[in-house]
Amino acid sequence: MNNLMNEGTLKVIREAVITIPGLMSFAEVDKESGVVNATTSIDKAIEISITEKIHRLKIHIILMNGVNIKDVVTEVQIRVKYELEKLSNFTNSYYVDVAVDDLAK
């Protein structure tokens, strides 16, 4: 698990994302080979960096073929940002980047 966020926070992120239409799964990218694998584990699909009160997240996802990529990515960003800010009582700022690593065939 990522040591910068606890298990409860990762669960909030996962639950905010998994219900978005068009999302197939989270993605885990093997850094050596570049191979993209589907995963249900959010901690393998997220990169997190925290500086003072700014939290930057990069979520890797796989989308269904034929969806509007921009709409799905925007929805992921909005939901995750809102849920995390709500969890922190709006005291932290969050930047959410979304990487679409593959389209399901």
| DSSP annotation string for the chain | --TTS-HHHHHHHHHHHTTSTTEEEEEEE-TTT--EEEES-GGGSEEEEEETTEEEEEEEEEEETTS-HHHHHHHHHHHHHHHHHHHTTT-SEEEEEEEEEEEE-
- Residue 28 backbone dihedrals phi, psi, to 5 degrees: -120, 125
Give the model confidence (pLDDT) of 13-68 as tens digits.
Answer: 999 999 999 999 999 988 788 788 999 889 899 998 888 778 999 999 999 999 99
Q: Which domains are seen in the chain, by residue range?
A: 7-104 (3.30.70)
pLDDT grade for 4, boundaries at 50, 70 and 90 = low
pTM for the whole structure: 0.88
